[in-house]
Amino acid sequence: MTIHSTSEVSEAYIALGANLGDREGTLKEALNRLDHYDGIEVVRCSNVYETEPVGYLDQPQFLNMAAALRTTLAPENLLHVMLDIEAQLGRVRDIRYGPRTVDLDLLWVEGQSYDTADLTLPHPRMLERAFVLVPLSDIVLPDEDSSGLRGIITAALQDIDGKEGMRLWTSNVWERGSEHSES
Ligand SMILES: Nc1ncnc2c1ncn2[C@@H]1O[C@H](COP(=O)(O)OP(=O)(O)OP(=O)(O)O)[C@@H](O)[C@H]1O
Ligand SMILES: Nc1nc2c(c(=O)[nH]1)N=C(CO)CN2
């Protein structure tokens, strides 16, 4: 728990993907590093799914998942932390939509919309991607949904291709204290 109760806390949802190296180990480590960061708490994790690559096809299969966070950080600062963790875990940016040790996308932050050079919220491609929507639907709870996000996800999932190509990899990827973080 790294949240100070005097600050305003927001709920945020992120997507995680990995298709190079120790994919599951890297996802766990990304979650550890987020949870250890002052002002971020990982509150729920989805199942992890193995998925066929989308967009750029000549690359290994991905592991994809989503996580719910509580944070006192402003969205641009949360994104900055996420990009920093990607770099720490060996993310190299070369091919657009290409292979990566880890990808962290900020999908949605309670009550926030952004359209700046560095940050678009909600994430502009989240509703087009089964590898985002299926994990997200695991963790967006109906009784916490004052924003309509659950309904938006359910509607988008009905129309989308690609769900069939997703295989459950593990239902229990991370819990607090289960891994030692080097950060
Ligand atoms: N909501 C967001 N989440 C993550 N990155 C974002 C977001 N909005 C804007 N960006 C910007 O997008 C840039 C490129 O991100 P990245 O390289 O992860 O894209 P990608 O994973 O290849 O493609 P996609 O964004 O479609 O998943 C980042 O440097 C970041 O500033
Ligand atoms: N299955 C799958 N395909 C992708 C993914 C991903 O996370 N999973 N990420 C991409 C770049 O955002 C491009 N294609």
pLDDT of 75-102, one tens digit each?
999 999 999 999 999 988 778 878 889 9
Q: Which of 43, 56, 65 is nearest to 97 (CA)?
A: 56
pLDDT at 141: 83
Q: Are 157 and 163 in contact (CB under 8 A)?
A: yes
Q: Which one is predicted more confidently, 183 or 18? A: 18
- The C-alpha angle 17, 18, 23, rounded to 5 degrees, equals 130
Q: Which one is predicted more confidently, 65 or 92? A: 65
Is residue 182 predicted with pLDDT exceeding 80? Answer: no
Q: Average per-residue pLDDT in the chain?
A: 91
Ligand nearest to the CA of 123: 1
Q: Which of 138, 9, 3, 14 is nearest to 67 (CA)?
A: 14
Is residue 66 predicted with pLDDT exceeding 80? Answer: yes
- Does the annotation mark 176 as catalytic? no
Q: Whose CA is nearest to atom 6 of ligand 2?
A: 17
Is residue 1 predicted with pLDDT exceeding 60? Answer: no
Is residue 145 predicted with pLDDT exceeding 70? Answer: no
ipTM: 0.96
pLDDT at 53: 95
For residue 183, name the pLDDT band (cuts at 50, 70, 90). very low
Ligand 1 pocket, mutate which of 34, 120, 127, 136 (most atoms under 8 A from CB): 120
Is residue 47 predicted with pLDDT exceeding 90? Answer: yes
Q: Which one is predicted more confidently, 145 or 159? A: 159
Which tens digits make up the pLDDT trace of 3-42?
Answer: 655 579 999 999 999 999 999 999 999 999 999 999 999 9
Hey, how many other C-beta atoms are within 10 angstroms of the C-beta on 175?
12
Q: Which of 20, 24, 19, 91 is nearest to 51 (CA)?
A: 19
Cβ neighbors of 87 (< 8 A, separation 6 or more) are none
Alpha helices in the chain (DSSP H): 23-36, 75-88, 130-139, 149-159
Ligand nearest to the CA of 125: 1
- What structural domains and CATH numbers belong to the chain? 10-170 (3.30.70.560)
